[in-house]
Chains A and B, each alone.
Chain A
């Protein structure tokens, strides 16, 4: 099915199931612990061997010698494969850091060996018997140093005349900010069971957000025909971008299986998630804003730096500044600087999460300089077109409504406007807000639907990383086919199924449901053909034409009817800006003596097109906001700038938000539909929640204390000397 123009009124505008609250169809499996995650597949690989990785203990250099004799002779060990045993594996397009093989070390905890043994205990103990000698070369690990050395501006985009606009501006802001490197820290470590026993046909039961991409990456890495590679990833214990790519767990399991002729399973130890896998790069950002006294922004000038291994793209924190607010003159520059840290790559809302964390503080500072309410300042500078390219309009943008609705529900007008001016006992109380923007991309998505005995099975390689894909896909199929939820079974995450968008870039929900809709329409065509009728309606489990009603189970008894199609998104979308928008409102209490910051309540108002399921969408938004609270207050991968690695590589040292950190969270969805997005008029919300959330917390802290912090995470040591105390 081609989607070549904006959707008109259609069945989803009169929906029974789409857009209605529905608890997760996979809920019972998850609460009983019976949903099978990758490492737990005793059903597919009985008694596999266990692989345990060894990571490099230097950040840069080369391995000069490895001796695995003792490890090979250890009890239970079936094989040891060291990096010196094989040539460097070819790198897939999507991999920046090398995954295995050869003597060159690019980063700390790069996998340099895998021990395969009967048990985890044996494999783990034997890795410590491997002797390694290195030749270490100095690396670069300090982003602030690199920022100071920056000379030429690598301008991404310049519209108008920014320098002239600042020269003539009545009000200007010029500040520098830091965001920290962050880890996805998903609860399920990367894990894979590999069966490559014959060295030809490879099957992986893995935990991966992107079946199609990862199959391709495996084909490149192992020089295989993709047809000989099978992947299953039906349940994924969190991803957040960390499982978009082929990683060392899959590579080491596959190598181990080929070597031993047995299935091998590998889970990355928790410490490997931080230094072997990918992370979000920290940034240094300088942001300048110019405006008239009336509060109309005349110029933005945003430059940022982030780190990456050579060939990567770092964390592009300036992107949203190009299009979120009005202003005729704008310049952005992003410098991705080569450093010898582990691979910086996509983490939830890559770019925007860091960029809006800064832009939305700057907007707060600018509003204060202007003496304006920060909500009104944003409303004044709203735009309905891309300000860099005014002929390109937003397909459906209700950011102003998000701001107004949020202010009303939060009772924003009643807030204390004097920073540091409200106190309850030992606590300083503050309120803050921020805007949120994230694009709404879509990717062509396919699905297959199989109708038999009135029951429908949906098959697509789309994944569910906790996002609710199983549920919204069942809703889409039930709605389109006129069935009930109980009549539909959804099967996901398998390379044997038609390729969908996968889960990433908050495009999965919108894209994959559109693909399922296309497949259902194909099935409808097959059904009407079999019945010899023209057009028909599908309702109450029946096919309805002007003169007859046939139950779906009776269309062709004892035979399965199949519909398969891919939804292709047309070029007309390129002429539009399609985005999602939100406004966050936050109340905090900051301890007047210690600086301890406690969240009191959060409100997020969302404009993201049709919300397919308000239950699962709400969870996505509060989950994003929770991650934003972590980013604001505690999360930071701390770099040992001498040895070049993240020192706090466990869940005690890397502090994500816990129960005690999270208050009541309210979410309001505006009733919007964006026909330019998909036939369902839906857009994603999976990343919108984290966008701007950290800045809302930061702005509330400023309102509470009168102390403006510009460096994340906003820990108490940054303000302790300036707190009022008694």
Chain B
């Protein structure tokens, strides 16, 4: 059997570049990018912000989760040039070693990771999960669509299921998220 593959048309489109201004972690970046560059590769390769991870490059693992205008997005599934003037926040903008976000600290406290590769994405999704529940955005497991949604293990597990962890830290991630949720409620009450 013989098989031959050619994709001549790729060559013509390969040279197209565009200028784009991205706002990342509050900082403005003027870039000229190959149109094919994903937001994830822009962060990791062009801006050397390597906290967002590439696990699959197919939107299937969640390791690249970042915030675009406050909503969580898989950065591998969107091209950078689509985000002119958008506010992008990465794990580097969530907190650093000296100034950790409560969710980052909760992940350490509950050993909510092992190899650490999915962790920045898990943390970004975990924070978004609590925000989304509080904002009343329903999920597949939400039983009552009218009125506030209760923060429950079931809700958290469902909303976190786009973030894979092969080390299997799920039970500890759940504990970390619950710890932050509890602290937030206590803070609101006081």
Q: What are the residues of chain A within 8 A of B7 when measuring CB–CB?
A: 128-129
Judge whether A652 and B60 touch: CB under 8 Å: yes
Per-residue A-contact encoding for B29-40, CB less than 8 Å = 1, 0 else = 000001011000
Judge whether A189 and B52 touch: CB under 8 Å: no
B44-70 contacts to A (CB < 8 Å): 44-45, 48, 50-58, 60-61, 63
B82 located at the interface, meaning its Cβ lies under 8 Å from any Cβ of chain A in the complex: no
Judge whether B15 and A75 touch: CB under 8 Å: yes
Contacts A32-B92, A651-B58 known; A135 to B104 CB distance under 8 Å?
no
Interface size band for A: 35 or more
Judge whether A662 and B170 touch: CB under 8 Å: yes
Q: How far is the CA of A57 from the CA of B1 in the complex (A)?
A: 12
Judge whether B48 and A42 touch: CB under 8 Å: yes
Q: How far is the CA of A129 from the CA of B172 in the complex (A)?
A: 46
Q: How far is the CB of A193 from chain B (nearest CB, A)?
A: 12
- Of the listed stretches B143-151, B161-169, B181-189, name the one at the interface; the rest are far from the partner chain: B161-169
Judge whether B111 and A119 touch: CB under 8 Å: no
Judge whether A659 and B111 touch: CB under 8 Å: no
Per-residue A-contact encoding for B4-48, CB less than 8 Å = 1, 0 else = 111110110011000000000000000000101100010011001
Q: How far is the CA of A239 from the CA of B97 in the complex (A)?
A: 26
A133 located at the interface, meaning its Cβ lies under 8 Å from any Cβ of chain B in the complex: yes
B88 located at the interface, meaning its Cβ lies under 8 Å from any Cβ of chain A in the complex: no
Judge whether B1 and A134 touch: CB under 8 Å: yes
Per-residue A-contact encoding for B96-138, CB less than 8 Å = 1, 0 else = 1100100011011101011111111001000000000000000
Judge whether A187 and B97 touch: CB under 8 Å: no
A267 located at the interface, meaning its Cβ lies under 8 Å from any Cβ of chain B in the complex: yes
Judge whether B108 and A134 touch: CB under 8 Å: no
Interface size band for B: 35 or more
Q: How far is the CB of A305 from chain B (nearest CB, A)?
A: 27
Judge whether B172 and A31 touch: CB under 8 Å: no
Q: Which residue of A lies closest to B56 (CB)?
A: A270
Judge whether A187 and B53 touch: CB under 8 Å: yes
Q: What are the residues of chain A within 8 A of B91 when measuring CB–CB?
A: 32-33
- Of the listed stretches A196-204, A378-386, A613-621, name the one at the interface; the rest are far from the partner chain: A613-621
Judge whether B168 and A626 touch: CB under 8 Å: yes
Q: How far is the CA of A33 from the CA of B124 in the complex (A)?
A: 11
A174 located at the interface, meaning its Cβ lies under 8 Å from any Cβ of chain B in the complex: no
Judge whether B61 and A32 touch: CB under 8 Å: no
Q: Which residue of A lies closest to B92 (CB)?
A: A33
Chain B CB within 10 A, most for which of A33, A36, A131? A33
Of all A-B residue pairs in the complex, the 4 with the closest CB atoms, nearest first, are A33-B51, A626-B168, A237-B117, A466-B115
Please name 8 pairs of A and B residues whose Cβ atoms are closer than 8 Å in the assembled complex, sorted by A.
Answer: A31-B113, A32-B97, A37-B50, A237-B118, A622-B168, A652-B58, A658-B160, A660-B158
Mark B residues whose CB is within 8 Å of A. 1-8, 10-11, 14-15, 34, 36-37, 41, 44-45, 48, 50-58, 60-61, 63, 90-92, 94-97, 100, 104-105, 107-109, 111, 113-120, 123, 156-158, 160-174
Mark A residues whose CB is within 8 Å of B. 23-24, 26-37, 39-40, 42, 57-58, 64, 70, 74-75, 119-122, 125, 128-136, 184-189, 235-240, 267, 269-270, 465-468, 615-616, 618-620, 622-627, 650-652, 656-665
